[in-house]
């Protein structure tokens, strides 16, 4: 099975800051990686698919990059509504696997 490791597990940043979250797969997944945002008590919401494709309706301050084993989610200018937990998911092979999550808090 492909293991997916996210870092950091939590980050605290100020409004307007640039925030970067990384995801590392235990073996290459090409570009088949997605990023999700989840707020407390809600279902997740996809932000990025295929490593760098912005899901329709998602603000352009969110971006994704990477291929193979190393991926990055960047929030270019953190907003109060971005306080949430973020997950990556490899979509290359079964069983599909998620990273452990990164909690983003606003200072």
Partner 1 sequence: EVLLLESGGGLVQPGGSLRLSCAASGFTFATYAMSWVRQAPGKGLEWVSGISISGGNTYYADSVKGRFTISRDNSKNTLDMQMNSLRVEDTAVYYCAKRGSGSNSWYVDLWGRGTLVTVSS
| Interface residues toward partner 1, by CB under 8 A | 1, 32, 34, 36, 38, 43-46, 49-50, 53, 55, 87, 89, 91-92, 94-101
Backbone angles phi, psi at 80, to 5 degrees: -55, -35
Query: Is 20:11 a contact under the CB 8 Å cutoff?
Result: no
18 versus 28: smaller Cβ distance to partner 1: 28
Least distance in angstroms from the C-beta of 91 to partner 1 = 4
Determine the Cα–Cα distance for residues 84 and 29; give it in Å rounded to an integer. 26
5 versus 77: smaller Cβ distance to partner 1: 5
Least distance in angstroms from the C-beta of 19 to partner 1 = 19
Query: Is 29:69 a contact under the CB 8 Å cutoff?
Result: yes
């Amino acid at each position: 099975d492909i293991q997916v490791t996210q870092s950091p597990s939590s980050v605290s940043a100020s409004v307007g800051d640039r925030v970067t979250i990384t995801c590392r797969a235990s073996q290459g997944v090409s570009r088949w990686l997605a990023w999700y945002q989840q707020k407390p008590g809600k279902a997740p919401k996809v932000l990025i698919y295929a490593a760098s494709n912005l899901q329709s309706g998602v603000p352009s301050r969110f971006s994704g990059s990477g291929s193979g084993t190393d991926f990055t989610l960047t929030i270019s200018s953190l907003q109060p509504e971005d306080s949430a937990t973020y997950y990556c998911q490899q979509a290359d092979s079964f069983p599909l696997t998620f990273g452990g999550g990164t909690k983003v808090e606003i200072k």
